[in-house]
Structure 1
């Protein structure tokens, strides 16, 4: 790292929210990290400043052409008052993968990690202590050049904001109901489905609203060409335990490579549980269900960590998974993952970074 991070502290701190009603992404800390880019200077003026609204030109490219990427990771407070990050370098590297696909300038990953750590250290007293809570970290980049023209922008803003959060779902390990979407599609190979850009999520909202009206929590997307291969859930990667073996869709260019997904695969293999990354049809899932071979289905993601699936609805057929109960493997993964994140057990994978 060759740039010093300037610090400007707030003069008056905010009141902390009630830990019993945090929700997710509703409250924000006193400070944020900001850095700008232009073609002549590159990335410059890294600084931590008071959290405040942005001022952008109405012609800023992000509003018109969608150059925007983001990440999500968490900081956890341990019982002995340490602060741990979970695989932050993976998220920062994925930010650059997204940046390349969206024709945006790459970030200095060492500088970004230092910025995350300095900001977390400054806002240490915002990290909640209640079981199931954490401090959510949202790095993002937007195009700020004022120009109406379809081209990569010449100016950008990189920011990191922090939010104390509760569990993503109200009942963390309560199995969720998933609707398999067959009309709308999320992404196709060659598109931007494998990167974290805002447009992916905006495009998913209509299907999510449809699923919620039908009484479901999330959407399971099929591939955008043949509409028969399982891809991912709205905010999670998906896993199926069938006859003692675990299957998850292979990363094919239209599926986001989740950090939690990667961690779960490594964990399962260390336990000698067979894991297969390959194309999986929804018909194959249904036939395995009909034969009584599906033992568990669960989603993985930073927000929820592990989310057991209790029901899949496809083609007017309801598949009830494991009697709508949290499976033994899902529970074991969740327990070990959160124990590592919270520093309750040794980290054999060297995933955590202490701030």
Structure 2
């Protein structure tokens, strides 16, 4: 059945009554989150203030400087790209190492696989995550399986694919999607989603140097909104290790990317207005994901809330919920809750109702506490 305006309202109507006043008061002409910078990182040495696209640019420059086999390619990366993440890299390292490609995502991924298999450290940019789907076959049927199908004789592990993802305030259905769950179903890949500049630089360098092909989905709303004191030195952060950003005792909140900041703000309101103590976890990477940290937290709190921008059905939150139910069943005081986008295309003018805002997360948290 085709999706029309009426069916969208059927999907979205449960959120309208609770949100329309809150959206008009708190979200009009502003982001759906308040950015929470990381505390000072434990990495020693000089630090400088960077937003997230600058931190990514710094990581890419570090990779080019330290690895003569590193190359960067994609649509418009030569002049810096849409979000300026590759700004000035071609001027510094030349057109042989930083170069534009045709507007062909399948070709970008295929070229990256071949370059990595031939010995290059291949760093590809897909201009928007929404347009990664033409490259889906190359990524899941070739890159992910290359080592396995050759019996470990060949691999394309030095392949990293970057792509801006998520809501940005005006992207509508073709520039706002969060496609991480599609790739989480694929053994052989690693998938990370940074929450800010410090994580973005460290995780990107880890992916570039990882022996497996990696996808880095960068929440585009954070490119300029996220600002931190980022270490200038070359450093890496672990893939597959979640971060407990805030300790709590009544409820575990789990998110990644931009949604981490939504949960942090929701947890502060719940503590201040309802005396509810929430533990907030940034999953950091969804393939692999840190099952141990998540389940240890839920066993203590007895309640779990998962939030992501992608639609509900088969979103990665479903995998978390199933695992928590299996591993923590005897400790649960309420069913695992998911706060997500509804099962519709991403809307334009209705974006504030689509997103899992702090208000929706607070409403769901109160239901869990009162279950």
**Same fold, TM exceeding 0.5?**
no
TM-score of the pair, normalised by structure 2: 0.30
TM-score of the pair, normalised by structure 1: 0.31
Which structure carries more helix by proportion?
2
Which structure carries more strand by proportion?
1
